[in-house]
Amino acid sequence: MPGQGRRRRCEAADGTHRQLGRGRGALLEPAVLAALADSEAHGYDVRKSIEDMTSGLVSADSGGLYRLLRRLEDDGVVVSTWVEGGSGPQRREYALTAEGRELLAHWLDHLRERERVLSLLVAAVERVVAKD
């Protein structure tokens, strides 16, 4: 498991896929991993990729995005290097590690399950809302 004794955010305390609450409702982490799996990028590009991949429905908060990138790096899930030269503010290039690709596969399982739950919930809500 990436990082020191920390379980994946898509897992419960006992290491299983379980409830879909705190941490398990996360969107930002899988979105970041997906953006970087495509190609290495700097932070601001990751933010734009996320906007693209969700057709503009999600606009990641840069505060949280950079914090997450730092944490993922601490956990060995991504690596980064400062880019030399170039104009404008200094930029940092991020890339997934092998562990990061592995983690993304786990997220896929989790996201599919949440998709199912959400579908079931939407259908249930539609049923009772239509009754009025």
* Residue range at the interface with a copy of itself (CB under 8 A); choices 1-9, 56-64, 68-76, 82-90: 56-64
Q: Does 128 bind a copy of itself (CB under 8 A)?
A: yes
* CA geometry: angle 41, 73, 11, nearest 5 deg: 110
Amino acid identity for residue 127 in this structure: R
Considering only CA atoms, give the Rg of the chain.
17
Cβ–Cβ under 8 Å, residues 11 and 92: no
> What is the pattern of x (binds a copy of itself, CB under 8 A) and - over residues 67-96?
------------------------------
- Residue 105 interacting entry, from DNA, a copy of itself, none, C-beta within 5 to 8 Å by type: a copy of itself
Tokens of 17: 């896929």
> What is the pattern of x (binds DNA, CB under 7 A) and - over residues 102-131?
------------------------------
- Taking the C-alpha atoms of residue 105 and residue 15, their distance in angstroms, rounded to an integer, is 16
